Amino acid sequence: MAKARVKAPKKAKAGDIVTIKTLITHKMESGRRKNKKTGKLIPRHIIDKFTAKFDGVEFFSADWHGAVSANPYMSFSYKAEKSGEFQFIWHDEKGEETVKKSKITVA
Amino acid sequence: MTNMKVEVLDRRQFVVAAGAGAAALIAGISGANATPEKAMALMTKLTNGGAAKAMDGKIKVDLPEIAENGNTVPVKVSVESAMTADDYVKSVHLVSEGNPAPEMASFHFTPASGKANAASRMRLAKTQNVVGIAEMSNGKIYMSKTQVKVTIGGCGG
């Protein structure tokens, strides 16, 4: 389904607060748009939950509603303490999940 | 024993009454800028009734003054906090006063976030206020309101 992109640093010093930027392709159909030909409402279909984990432990999450733009962008921070792996999970209303991973080395 | 029970009940009733009074006062002060009922109801729900005793400050919601395209309005939130294990920002909620649905997004932080910063892009249907609510780990609630002028609305139609 959706194509996700993540921009997270590969290296950091212990104690650094790093910024992570994520982007995913998704229509985020709000359920309020009408099909111009038929005049019928296009059913709602959005990503409703985004979760960011580090070595399996959640450190940031977001609940998204119809007001989040198409191709949702999300940026947030993380305090790097040790080397490990980030996991980013986008959960969509139909139960589909997109997972993206990124490693970081902390010196 | 029975006496004590009565006292507890009384205090609860008092708190409820005080909360309602405060809400009425806020509504009165803001006048024309009053929060629509739908948004207020959501704010109360999100904070378990804490929205009525929200304080100003700490939270900053950055939005463009004028958004030409309501389909993607960049929004940045930041909350002042040390983000330590016993003093951090739990959640930030964004509530729209002018969208067909007041829910926009909620961000949940942990001490590992380092900073209570988040940025995303939102749809805004028309010129309106966006309310940011920060819930701290100690139960305190901070609120801020930002007005955005929207040239072309972004909620379909």
Q: Map out the domains of chain A as residue ranges.
A: 4-106
pLDDT in tens, B49-83: 887 788 888 999 999 999 999 999 999 999 999 99
Residue A50, beta-bridge partner list: A62, A90
Chain A neighbors of B63, CB-CB under 8 A: none
Distance CA A20, CA A7 (A): 6
Could you please state the CATH topology (level 3) that the domain comprising B36-152 is classified under: Immunoglobulin-like (2.60.40)
**Cβ-contact A74, A62 below 8 angstroms:** yes
pLDDT in tens, A50-80: 999 999 999 999 999 999 999 999 999 999 9
**3-state helix/strand/coil string of B125-137:** CCCEEEEEEEEEC
Average pLDDT, chain A: 94
Residue B144 tokens read as: 């801020």
Distance CA A23, CA A97 (A): 14
ipTM of the complex: 0.94
**Nearest one of A107, A98, A104 to A4, comparing CA atoms:** A98
Helix-, strand-, coil-residue percentages of chain B, each rounded to 5:
30, 40, 30
pLDDT for the residue B157: 46
N-terminal to C-terminal alpha carbon distance within chain A: 36
From B154's Cα to the closest Cα of chain A, the distance in A is: 9
Of A34, A57, A68, the CB nearest to B120: A68
Q: What is the mean pLDDT of residues A16-20?
A: 96
pLDDT in tens, B84-131: 999 999 999 999 999 999 999 999 999 999 999 999 999 999 999 999
Chain A residues within 8 Å of chain B (Cβ atoms): 17-19, 30, 32-34, 54, 57-70, 72-79
β-pairing verdict for A84-92 and A11-12: unpaired
CA dihedral of residues B31, B144, B121, B154 (deg, nearest 10): 0
Q: What is the mean pLDDT of residues A77-101?
A: 95
Chain B neighbors of A77, CB-CB under 8 A: 113-115, 117
pLDDT for the residue B49: 82
Within 10 Å of residue A60's Cβ, how many Cβ atoms? Answer: 24
> Is some CB atom of chain A closer than 8 A to the CB atom of B45?
no
- Which range has the worst mean pLDDT, A44-48, B28-32, B118-122? B28-32
Of A32, A64, A77, the CB nearest to B100: A32
| pLDDT score of B1 more than 80 | no
From B149's Cα to the closest Cα of chain A, the distance in A is: 16
CATH number of A4-106: 2.60.40.10
Amino acid at A65: H
CB-based contact A67 B110, cutoff 8 Å: no
The confidence band for B9, taking pLDDT boundaries of 50, 70 and 90, is: very low
pLDDT for the residue A64: 97
CB-based contact A67 B156, cutoff 8 Å: no
From B21's Cα to the closest Cα of chain A, the distance in A is: 31
Q: What is the mean pLDDT of residues A16-38?
A: 92
Domain map (residue ranges) of chain B: 1-34, 36-152
> Is some CB atom of chain A closer than 8 A to the CB atom of B78?
no
The helix/strand/coil state of A46 is: coil
From B99's Cα to the closest Cα of chain A, the distance in A is: 8
Helix (H) or strand (E) holding A9: none
